Amino acid sequence: MSDSLKTVITDTQNKFIADPSKALATFSSSSALQEGLRSEVQMRDHTITVDEPESLGGTDAGPNPVELILGALGSCQEITYRAYATALGIPLENVSVKLDGHIDLRGFFGVDDSVPAGYQKITGTVTLESTASEEQLQNLRAAVNAHCPVLDILTRPLPVELELEIKEIAV
Amino acid sequence: MSDSLKTVITDTQNKFIADPSKALATFSSSSALQEGLRSEVQMRDHTITVDEPESLGGTDAGPNPVELILGALGSCQEITYRAYATALGIPLENVSVKLDGHIDLRGFFGVDDSVPAGYQKITGTVTLESTASEEQLQNLRAAVNAHCPVLDILTRPLPVELELEIKEIAV
Residue B104 CA to residue B66 CA, distance in Å, equals 12
List CB contacts (< 8 A) between A97 and chain B: 29-32, 162
Q: Is the pLDDT at B170 greater than 90, yes or no?
A: no
Q: What is the CA radius of gyration of chain B?
A: 20
> What pLDDT does A171 receive?
73
- What are the C-alpha distances in Å from B66 to residues A119, A143, A144, A148, A166? 18, 19, 15, 10, 28
Strand runs (DSSP E) across A34-159, as ranges? 39-43, 46-50, 94-104, 119-130
Q: What is the CA radius of gyration of chain A?
A: 20
pLDDT tens, position by position, A31-84: 999 999 999 999 999 999 999 999 999 999 999 999 999 999 999 999 999 999
pLDDT tens, position by position, B152-164: 999 999 999 999 9
Q: Is the pLDDT at A3 greater than 80, yes or no?
A: no
What was the ipTM of the complex prediction? 0.97
The alpha-carbon gap from A88 to the nearest alpha carbon of chain B, in Å, equals 12
Rounded average pLDDT over B107-127: 97
Which long-range contacts link B46-50 to residues 24+ away (Cβ below 8 Å)? Answer: B46/A62, B46/A63, B46/A67, B48/A48, B48/A63, B48/A71, B50/A71, B50/A72, B50/A75, B50/A79
Interface contact B28-A100, CB threshold 8 A? yes
The residue type of A82 is R
The residue type of B77 is Q
pLDDT tens, position by position, B34-45: 999 999 999 999
8 A C-beta contact, residue A16 and residue B106: yes
8 A C-beta contact, residue B3 and residue A46: no
Residue B149 CA to residue A70 CA, distance in Å, equals 13
3-state secondary structure of B160: strand
Rounded average pLDDT over B140-168: 98
List CB contacts (< 8 A) between B153 and chain A: 66, 69, 118-119, 154
Interface contact B43-A73, CB threshold 8 A? no
Burial environment of residue A40 by CB neighbours within 10 A (0 to 12, 13 to 18, 19 or more):
buried
pLDDT tens, position by position, A130-167: 999 999 999 999 999 999 999 999 999 999 999 999 99
3-state secondary structure of A12: helix
